[in-house]
Amino acid sequence: MKPLPTNPRQILVTCPQRLGDVLLTTALIHSLKQAWPAAAIDVLVLRGTESVLTGNPDIRQVLVQVQRASLWSKVREAFGLWRRYDIAVAAMPTDRSRLSAWIGGRFRVGFLTPQQGEQRKAFLLDRHVSFDDLDTHTVSMQAQLLLLLEIPARMQVVLPQLDVAAQAAFTASLPDVPYVVLHPCPKFRYKMWRQHAWVELAEWLHACGLSVVFSGGSDADELAYVAAIQAQLSFNSRNLAGQLSLAHTSALLKHAAFYVGPDTVVTHMAAASGTPTLALFGPSNPVKWGPWPANRTEPTSPWSRVGSGRQGNVFLLQGQGSCVPCLLEGCDRHVNSLSDCLEYLEVQRVKDALKSLLAAPDKSPVLLDC
């Protein structure tokens, strides 16, 4: 067996996947930095996901890869990476992640899946572990890569950060009364709660004395969805959808009284910020994708496949039905279909979950008398 480098000076982590995958991989990166504080860590991601690593103190450089690059660009990139790193960690169980690690690292660790033909790719990795895509949380799964490197897992998700001046300026612009952040629109419709339910929830929160702030991305459909909710309200709310970077969103979440949102990257950010977080789950597998609570040190998966409950600062509220979670893309099996388990999720269940979340001894009594 090839010996493990004892004092790596340069480490590459490859995570060419979606935004949420990159965010959760920061827990792996943080563990690497804690184990080898003198090492410089670079992270390779796909273009469009690099913003979730803004200001991350564990990272020296973010390398951005174009998904459909020309052959010449791929060759040039390979020459630039070739064996530059003492260790390369393929954080995703994909050919792209493993190949980039093989090119860049003199010692490589990563995943192989149980699929037929995967064992033939073992030559790309010096040490590997079988990837479980069903019964192990994404963060927990990456903790197993740390076992291959013989270092402890310190599974803290690290949020994008503003610099000191920008942080102070943005914080000064936030409401000077307790506010709640509502994030109504996920990337895909099958993870969406119904519009008029968000209106009813917002009206109740306002009646409880809270300022309501909406967050969201810059996609036209998402902007329209949030604007339609705001237009139905009987009070003035603040709509920041499409106006904030992910680093600004982190600051917004950290100062919120609590947060409510669906299965999306901002919900993971809210959980990691330490803010009380209510996550609305339908078809998705909580074991795999439930928000990772702040300050959780135990690397095992925090959530069960079926059922609602609280872990740390997060309450995961699951839609009802014998089919939940189906692990499919909505009732019509495509990303733009609806999911009955979320369509029929009662507002009262959301209110009760919030009261339960905020009833902890270390939280203020907001909402308890509403």
List, edge to edge, every strand of the sheet that includes 314-318: 238-239, 211-214, 179-182, 258-262, 277-281, 314-318, 309-311
Tell me whether the CATH fold assigned to 10-148 matches the one assigned to 164-357. yes
The pLDDT of residue 158: 97
Q: Residue 111 and residue 118: Cα distance in Å, rounded? A: 10
CATH class (in words) of the domain with range 10-148: alpha beta
Mean pLDDT rounded to a whole number for the chain: 94
CB contact at 8 A, 65 and 12: no
**Across 64-73, 121-130, 225-234, 276-285, least confident range:** 64-73
Give the tens place of pLDDT for each residue, 15-61. Answer: 999 999 999 999 999 999 999 999 999 999 999 999 999 999 999 99
Give the tens place of pLDDT for each residue, 140-174. Answer: 999 999 999 999 998 899 999 999 999 999 999 99
The pLDDT of residue 113: 93
The pLDDT of residue 367: 65
The pLDDT of residue 155: 87
CATH number of 164-357: 3.40.50.2000
Q: Which amino acid is at 257?
A: A
Confidence band, pLDDT 50/70/90 cuts, at residue 68: confident
Q: What is the DSSP string of 198-260?
A: HHHHHHHHHHTT-EEEE---S-HHHHHHHHHHHHT-SS--EE-TTT--HHHHHHHHHTSSEEE
The pLDDT of residue 118: 86
Q: Where are the domains of the chain?
A: 10-148, 164-357
The pLDDT of residue 298: 87
